[in-house]
């Protein structure tokens, strides 16, 4: 309902949010609009089309527009209209001659109609400044922080537009926005540092900003022109969401006049699909027409700025991720010492404080309450936890406004206005909670934010604020905000505590049978849990997704990278987490590409300590994969030459050279795989990496510092490449497929779903999934089973031993799956069966089935 039609009784803050600003049915005077069917029949026109194009708007409605445009223009637009695939897409054409007039055109879809907007071409500055976009962007890129980059961007937009005031306006999580950067003419008042209330930009306007990032109001006092319709008002109004000439709300025009603004332009700043903020441009001394081509260049600059902004925020989170990793390592090491958890609270408090600021910490675990610093009593805490359980079970919960969400917190013995709660169990029972004290904040508003109902030019309604003088407000009841980086660290801590520390502590309390057995259990648990640490995997998923292209390639590349890490991890556990052979690592990576026949290694074998070994495993995997796609390993006659050497400082020098492969050239873009090759060794190990592309084949050189090089023993260089029998069994299994009904016993739902998909994809008639031994026995009794796959450890000290014994008794073949290393003897006590180590790929599963058939035949 238009604002002037609202009943007086319904006037409230929602009026602005309900105003249909995309259906106003008007265009601004600097452009004209024609909406037509795909076969060019005109349905809607703006009333000023005679001024813009010299066409009678009434006479062309219902007629083919092709009758009124030059043939070459029609041909040009026809070709471009085919490119309009989605409603949010738009196409722009500059410098088109129509009736002797130079025009700029914009095309977009609105429902089933094609909207053509026409603007007389502006040639006031001939777009010479467009060449400045990249130099201006370099200044943004060189800025050290987000705020500095925003300031450079404000100067850049002002240089491109000559508006009197250009602001960078950032939204907070409550919807209000603060001017964090500004560029102004000498005589223009500054709004820098002022905050604007959320109600100044209604919700539907924010939604439009994410779809249509540019809006120009060339003259707030200019006449607007109605859109005439073939339906004479009886049909649906034309949706102008993507229009560049759309008239704006009279409420907003009144708001701008109250600010003394004669012209404005807004450009969206988008971060991961969400509205991060705006470039808000004001001109106070008169209209400011900006041509379509120049606006397009500004829009491109804003998009590039958004990418730079995203990178700078990511860099800040990445800096904290290093702290999170160090915190994770410290807690793992602390858990390995077997210290009592009560004692660990003081240690964890000290370690967490290095990454997250807090004033108090409290722990509730198995009914035991421990608190340090500015934290509530046990009774107060239990009441708070009961509220959190209903608010955010199983997830991190944070707020800097606890008093609003839990008023009883004001009466705590140690009142805290901010909390960050980390659940420590899968059920909502145990927590670590960090507390922050109240911080009284002085907010500088751009005018008093409250609105009041007045009878304005548009009738009884909430009239826009008329004063924008700085106004201070003391805001109480809040703590310092928890930043994105701090929340990321907290999630890492939660995963570490949930998946490692508490599990190890629980197991250690029940299985203290001597130092050697405790050490073996610790290594086994770390082996099992480290595979589930999400930080590295999450990064691999995100980076692989961004560069993989197709879903199939994404799955294949990600699977290979995870397998490379898992294979390296297996080799380390076989040597009790000591330095391991690089030759062994190379054998494993080249096994799928012809093994020793495809590689020539010169120099002595060397051993690397665990951290360096895992890093080199991922680097070698990317080198082998890249060579198999584009280099020497992509052709039968190609091979790889590698040399090992130790320099005078004891550093390990490794070189890689593709031989007899196709000619290569430097890549035009670098994917995540190349980033791993070039940056892992320098970043993770403090070494060096150099990648070159001579035409004869790619070459790489790595220097790993001496502190990562260890002694090697004969046991560490045992052969690990698959035997011919293993390869034959895997090939046979893939040829024959998997038949019949399969029983899958697995307590992890995601792993179970993935394994079921693999089995069904290889021909299994049906896959029956059980999470417990009892469920498995029920399915076994009720169905004819042809093959079974059993997870050895089903959690909480349970196992699938009873199921395995029943399978042996009934003569049903089965595999054992485990995330534990071979040295733990995880399968001890089970009937003999092939063991499938987690994480396993489709190829691993098929190979294990082939091996099972071979064993069964024998």
Asked if pLDDT for residue 79 goes beyond 70, the answer is yes
* pLDDT tens, position by position, 231-245: 655 467 888 888 999
Indicate whether 109 and 193 sit together in one domain: no
Cβ distance 839 to 558 under 8 Å?
no
Indicate whether 677 and 787 sit together in one domain: no
Span 712-718, average pLDDT: 45
Bridge partners for 35 per DSSP: 44, 115
Q: What are phi and psi of 401, to 5 degrees?
A: -130, 60
Indicate whether 89 and 48 sit together in one domain: yes
Q: 222: pLDDT confidence band, cut at 50, 70 and 90?
A: very high
| Unique residue bearing structure tokens 């994480």 | 839
Q: What are phi and psi of 189, to 5 degrees?
A: -60, 150
Whole-number Å distance between alpha carbons of 745 and 532: 19
Single out the residue of 256, 302, 301 nearest to residue 283, CA to CA.
Answer: 256
Question: 685, 717, 749 — which closes off a domain?
Answer: 717
In this structure, the chain runs to a length of 858
Handedness of CA 613, 614, 617, 623 (dihedral sign): negative
* pLDDT tens, position by position, 337-385: 554 455 567 777 877 887 788 998 988 877 788 888 888 998 888 888 8
DSSP H or E run through 96: strand 90-98
Cβ distance 678 to 691 under 8 Å?
yes
Whole-number Å distance between alpha carbons of 858 and 856: 5
Whole-number Å distance between alpha carbons of 447 and 438: 26
Single out the residue of 243, 247, 182, 238 nearest to residue 217, CA to CA.
Answer: 247
Indicate whether 112 and 138 sit together in one domain: no
Asked if pLDDT for residue 721 goes beyond 50, the answer is no
Indicate whether 98 and 146 sit together in one domain: no
Alpha carbon of residue 164 to chain centroid: 37
Structural domain includes residue 498? yes
Between residues 558 and 406, the one the model is more confident about = 406
Burial class (CB in 10 A: 0-12, 13-18, 19+), 470: middle
Whole-number Å distance between alpha carbons of 649 and 663: 36
Instruction: Return the CATH number at 769.
Output: 3.40.50.2300
Across all residues in the chain, what is the average pLDDT?
76
pLDDT (0 to 100) of residue 29: 93
Bridge partners for 616 per DSSP: none
* pLDDT tens, position by position, 13-44: 344 445 555 566 889 999 999 999 989 999 99
- Rounded to whole angstroms, the maximal C-alpha distance in the chain is 97
pLDDT (0 to 100) of residue 476: 63
Indicate whether 40 and 66 sit together in one domain: yes
Buried b (16+ CB within 10 A) or exposed e, 71-85: eebbeebeeeeeebe
- Coil vs helix vs strand at 706: helix
HSE of 125 in the Cβ direction (CA atoms, 13 Å)?
16
Whole-number Å distance between alpha carbons of 399 and 31: 47
Structural domain includes residue 230? no
Structural domain includes residue 89? yes
Single out the residue of 326, 332, 321, 334 nearest to residue 500, CA to CA.
Answer: 332
Cβ distance 830 to 801 under 8 Å?
yes
Q: 212: pLDDT confidence band, cut at 50, 70 and 90?
A: confident
Between residues 319 and 139, the one the model is more confident about = 139
DSSP 372: E
pLDDT (0 to 100) of residue 547: 57
Indicate whether 309 and 389 sit together in one domain: no
Alpha carbon of residue 127 to chain centroid: 36
| Unique residue bearing structure tokens 């239990």 | 382
Single out the residue of 419, 355, 348 nearest to residue 383, CA to CA.
Answer: 419
Instruction: Return the CATH number at 150.
Output: 3.30.450.40
| Residue 367, number of CB atoms within 10 A of its CB | 7
Indicate whether 203 and 245 sit together in one domain: yes
Indicate whether 275 and 355 sit together in one domain: no
Structural domain includes residue 393? yes
Cβ distance 466 to 261 under 8 Å?
no
Between residues 544 and 11, the one the model is more confident about = 544
Structure tokens at 570: 């297996």
Q: 676: pLDDT confidence band, cut at 50, 70 and 90?
A: confident
- What is the secondary structure of 235-276 as a DSSP string? SPPPP-TT-SSB---HHHHHHHHHHT-SEEEEEEEEETTEEE
| Unique residue bearing structure tokens 């022109």 | 225
* pLDDT tens, position by position, 382-395: 888 877 666 566 67
DSSP 686: S
Structural domain includes residue 454? no
Structure tokens at 618: 């991922």
DSSP 723: P
Q: 731: pLDDT confidence band, cut at 50, 70 and 90?
A: very low
Instruction: Return the CATH number at 693.
Output: 3.30.565.10
Structural domain includes residue 447? no
| Unique residue bearing structure tokens 């779809």 | 211
* pLDDT tens, position by position, 459-472: 544 445 444 444 44
**E strands, 320-405, in order:** 360-365, 368-373, 397-399
- Coil vs helix vs strand at 5: helix
Question: 293, 315, 337 — which closes off a domain?
Answer: 315
Whole-number Å distance between alpha carbons of 519 and 514: 9
Q: How many domains does the chain have?
A: 5
Span 79-94, average pLDDT: 76
Whole-number Å distance between alpha carbons of 133 and 177: 26
Which residues constitute the domain of residue 413?
317-441+478-511
Those residues with Cβ within 8 angstroms of residue 701's Cβ, 6 or more apart along the chain or in another chain: 653, 654, 655, 656, 688, 689, 690
pLDDT (0 to 100) of residue 573: 47
Lowest mean pLDDT among 77-91, 101-115, 790-804: 77-91
Structure tokens at 108: 């977009």
Angle between helices 515-530 and 502-510 (to 10 degrees): 150
Span 496-500, average pLDDT: 64
Single out the residue of 635, 612, 717, 631 nearest to residue 674, CA to CA.
Answer: 631
Question: 78, 99, 120 — which closes off a domain?
Answer: 120
pLDDT (0 to 100) of residue 536: 43
* pLDDT tens, position by position, 58-72: 999 999 999 999 999
Burial class (CB in 10 A: 0-12, 13-18, 19+), 811: exposed
| Residue 350, number of CB atoms within 10 A of its CB | 12
Q: 10: pLDDT confidence band, cut at 50, 70 and 90?
A: very low
Structural domain includes residue 449? no
Cβ distance 373 to 361 under 8 Å?
yes
Span 670-691, average pLDDT: 85
Burial class (CB in 10 A: 0-12, 13-18, 19+), 769: middle
Angle between helices 341-353 and 292-336 (to 10 degrees): 150
Indicate whether 738 and 675 sit together in one domain: no
pLDDT (0 to 100) of residue 655: 94
Bridge partners for 165 per DSSP: 184, 282
DSSP 531: T
Single out the residue of 57, 65, 60 nearest to residue 40, CA to CA.
Answer: 65
HSE of 556 in the Cβ direction (CA atoms, 13 Å)?
8
CA–CA–CA angle 144, 146, 149 (5° rounding): 70
Asked if pLDDT for residue 535 goes beyond 80, the answer is no
Indicate whether 734 and 806 sit together in one domain: yes
Between residues 171 and 732, the one the model is more confident about = 171
* pLDDT tens, position by position, 744-780: 998 877 778 788 888 888 888 999 999 889 999 999 9
Asked if pLDDT for residue 575 goes beyond 70, the answer is no
Indicate whether 249 and 384 sit together in one domain: no
| Residue 651, number of CB atoms within 10 A of its CB | 18
Structural domain includes residue 801? yes
Single out the residue of 849, 857, 834 nearest to residue 735, CA to CA.
Answer: 849
pLDDT (0 to 100) of residue 441: 53
Alpha-carbon Rg for the chain in angstroms:
34
Instruction: Return the CATH number at 49.
Output: 3.30.450.20
Between residues 416 and 132, the one the model is more confident about = 416
Cα-based distances in Å from 409 to 362, 393, 502, 739? 15, 20, 29, 61
Whole-number Å distance between alpha carbons of 622 and 560: 9
Q: 136: pLDDT confidence band, cut at 50, 70 and 90?
A: confident
């Amino acid at each position: 309902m238009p604002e002037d039609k609202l009943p007086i009784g319904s006037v409230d803050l929602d009026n602005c949010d309900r105003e249909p600003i995309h259906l106003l049915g008007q265009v601004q005077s600097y452009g004209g609009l024609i909406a037509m069917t795909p076969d060019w029949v005109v349905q809607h026109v703006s009333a000023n089309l005679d001024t813009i194009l010299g066409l009678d708007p009434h006479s062309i409605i219902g007629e083919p527009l092709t009758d009124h445009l030059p043939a070459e223009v029609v041909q040009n637009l026809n070709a471009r209209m085919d490119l309009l695939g989605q409603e949010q897409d738009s196409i722009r054409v500059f410098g088109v001659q129509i009736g002797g007039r130079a025009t700029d055109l914009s095309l977009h879809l609105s429902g089933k109609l094609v909207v053509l907007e026409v603007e007389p071409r502006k040639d006031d500055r001939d777009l010479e400044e467009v060449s400045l976009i990249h130099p201006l962007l370099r200044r943004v890129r060189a800025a050290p922080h987000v705020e500095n980059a925003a300031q450079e961007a404000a100067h850049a937009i002002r240089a491109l537009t000559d508006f009197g005031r250009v602001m960078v306006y950032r939204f907070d999580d409550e919807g209000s926005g603060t001017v964090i950067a500004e560029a102004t003419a000498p005589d223009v008042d500054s709004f820098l540092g002022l905050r604007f209330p959320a109600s100044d930009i209604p919700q539907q306007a924010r939604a439009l900003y994410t779809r249509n990032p540019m809006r120009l109001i060339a003259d707030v006092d200019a006449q607007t022109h109605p859109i005439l319709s073939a339906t004479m008002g009886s049909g649906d109004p034309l949706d102008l969401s993507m229009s560049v000439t759309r008239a704006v709300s009279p409420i907003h025009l009144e708001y701008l006049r109250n600010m003394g603004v004669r012209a404005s332009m807004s450009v969206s700043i988008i971060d991961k699909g969400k509205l991060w903020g705006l470039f808000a441009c004001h001109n106070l001394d008169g209209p400011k027409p900006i041509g379509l081509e120049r606006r397009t260049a500004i829009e491109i600059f804003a998009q590039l700025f958004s990418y730079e902004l995203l990178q700078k925020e990511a860099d800040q989170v990445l800096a904290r991720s290093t702290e999170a990793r160090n915190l994770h390592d410290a807690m793992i090491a602390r858990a390995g010492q077997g210290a009592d958890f009560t004692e660990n609270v003081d240690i964890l408090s000290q370690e967490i404080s290095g990454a997250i600021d807090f004033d108090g910490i409290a722990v509730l675990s198995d009914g035991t309450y421990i608190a340090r610093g500015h934290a509530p009593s046990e009774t107060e805490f239990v009441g708070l936890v009961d509220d959190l359980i209903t608010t955010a079970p199983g997830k991190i919960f944070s707020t800097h406004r606890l008093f609003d969400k839990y008023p009883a917190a004001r009466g705590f013995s140690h009142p805290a206005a901010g909390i960050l709660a980390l659940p420590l169990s899968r059920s909502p029972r145990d927590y670590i909670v960090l507390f922050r004290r109240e911080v009284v904040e002085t907010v500088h508003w751009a005018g008093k934010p409250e609105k009041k109902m007045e009878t304005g030019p548009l009738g009884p309604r909430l009239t826009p604020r008329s004063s924008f003088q700085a106004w201070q407000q003391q805001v109480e009841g809040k703590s310092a905000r928890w930043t994105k980086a701090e929340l990321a660290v907290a999630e890492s801590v939660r995963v570490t505590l949930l998946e490692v520390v508490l599990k190890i502590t629980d197991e250690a309390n029940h299985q203290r049978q001597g130092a050697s057995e405790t050490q073996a259990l610790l290594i086994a648990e770390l082996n099992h849990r480290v595979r589930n640490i999400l930080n590295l995997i999450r990064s691999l998923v995100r980076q692989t997704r961004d560069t993989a292209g197709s879903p199939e390639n994404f799955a294949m590349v990600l699977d290979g990278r995870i397998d490379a890490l898992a294979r390296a991890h297996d080799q380390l556990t076989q040597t009790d987490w000591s330095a391991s052979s690089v030759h062994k690592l190379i054998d494993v990576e080249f096994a799928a590409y012809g093994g020793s026949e495809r590689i020539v290694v010169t120099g002595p074998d060397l051993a690397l300590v665990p951290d360096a070994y895992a890093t080199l495993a991922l680097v070698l995997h990317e080198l082998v994969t890249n060579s198999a796609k584009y280099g020497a390993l992509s052709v039968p006659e190609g091979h790889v030459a590698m040399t090992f050497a130790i320099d005078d400082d004891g550093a390990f020098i490794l070189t890689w050279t593709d031989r007899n492969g196709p000619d290569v050239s430097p890549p035009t873009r670098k994917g995540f795989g190349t980033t791993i090759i070039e940056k892992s060794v320098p970043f993770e190990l403090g070494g060096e990496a150099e990648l070159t592309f001579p035409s004869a084949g790619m070459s790489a050189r790595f220097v790993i510092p001496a502190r990562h090089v260890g002694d090697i023993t004969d046991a560490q260089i045992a052969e690990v490449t698959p035997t011919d029998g293993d390869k034959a069994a895997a090939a046979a299994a893939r040829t024959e497929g998997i038949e019949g009904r399969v029983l899958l016993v697995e307590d992890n739902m995601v792993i179970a779903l993935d394994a079921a998909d693999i089995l069904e994809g290889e021909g299994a008639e049906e896959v029956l999934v059980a999470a417990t031994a009892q469920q498995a026995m029920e399915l076994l009794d009720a169905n004819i089973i042809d093959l079974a796959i059993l997870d050895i450890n089903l959690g909480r000290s349970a196992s699938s031993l009873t199921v395995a014994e029943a399978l042996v008794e009934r003569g049903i073949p089965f595999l054992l799956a485990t995330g534990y290393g071979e040295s733990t003897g995880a399968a001890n006590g089970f009937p003999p069966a092939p063991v499938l180590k987690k994480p396993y790929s489709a190829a691993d599963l098929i190979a294990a089935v082939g091996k099972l058939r071979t064993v069964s035949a024998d």
